[in-house]
Amino acid sequence: MPGACKRQRGAGDSENKCPLSLASLISAVASAGPPPKAGPNVRPTHASPALQYVSPELQLLPPHNSTALTPAARHLAQEQACAVVRAEDPLLEQLLEVRIITTHRPAEASPLSNHVSLRIAKEYGTMVYHERAGRSPAEAVMFCFMASDQLEPIIVAVVVHPELGRLQYITDTQLQQLEVAIGQFKRHFKLEGETYAYTGAKERLAGSWHSRHFHLKIRIPTEMYLQIFPAMQVLARKRHLLEPFKRKWEPLAYKFESQSTAPWPEVRRLMQVDIESPQPTAMPT
């Protein structure tokens, strides 16, 4: 199934969001809120499945680019924009948010303007590396390596499928592909001596406090983390400058000094156990 389409409202704009994120693409709600306000001479464009709202260049076609859209018409336009992205690259669709944005400019001849907006989905905003694998479209996956945004020297690796989004479980083949991708990641960043942490599927699905998707944590040097995650430099630009914060703040002390990690062979065995075990059922939340 393609990814979810959720309608969101900004402070000054109306927008329809398609979180083409790993999780999955759920069907949009056509009745999600009123259409944007327009001038007295602008009539809303009503939805028709036969109408073409979006061009292959991801532009709203006339007259839909300058008329108020009903929620259903906005949803169809967003679906067509998603289809353009999907045709270009199904995996790219998972990494993007596709929105239909309405802006209001009362001083201009056309006070209302609808257009397509693309942005990287929030969960991939800190991605520093990726590798593709799979010989056919049905086997295609992408391994994404993200710098943790939790102020910890961690790279989080996840597996993205073009239709399923971020996977909860991986196969033995995908584990082998992940191992290759990790080697390429290490060569790219000249990384040595790293350690790993992995939470098994049973524990991941036991409650809502933990991500239920498959993910592997890679402990990297503090200096590397400060370099590839510049937001951390708000606290310190160099490792030695981070020491006072680690002494004062327990969360930083734990994440930089006490998190439990293990060598790759040990963590790989844990993942292999998950692959060979029956898939657990998620507990209700």
49-106 pLDDT tens trace: 678 999 999 999 999 999 999 999 999 999 999 999 999 999 999 999 999 999 987 7
Domain ranges of the chain: 6-123, 126-276
Q: Which residue has the higher pLDDT, 246 or 160?
A: 160
Report d(CA 20, CA 5) in Å as an integer. 8
For domain 126-276, the question of CATH label 1.10.10 is answered with: no
Q: Which residue has the higher pLDDT, 159 or 15?
A: 159
What global pTM score does this model have? Answer: 0.78
Judge contact between 161 and 93, C-beta under 8 A: no
CA–CA distance from 245 to each of 99, 232, 237, 249, 250 (Å)? 40, 12, 12, 6, 9
Please give the pLDDT value at position 47: 58
Please give the pLDDT value at position 46: 54
**Over the stretch 216-234, which tens digit does the pLDDT of each residue have?**
999 999 999 999 998 888 8
**Over the stretch 174-198, which tens digit does the pLDDT of each residue have?**
999 999 999 999 999 999 999 999 9
Please give the pLDDT value at position 65: 92
Please give the pLDDT value at position 23: 34
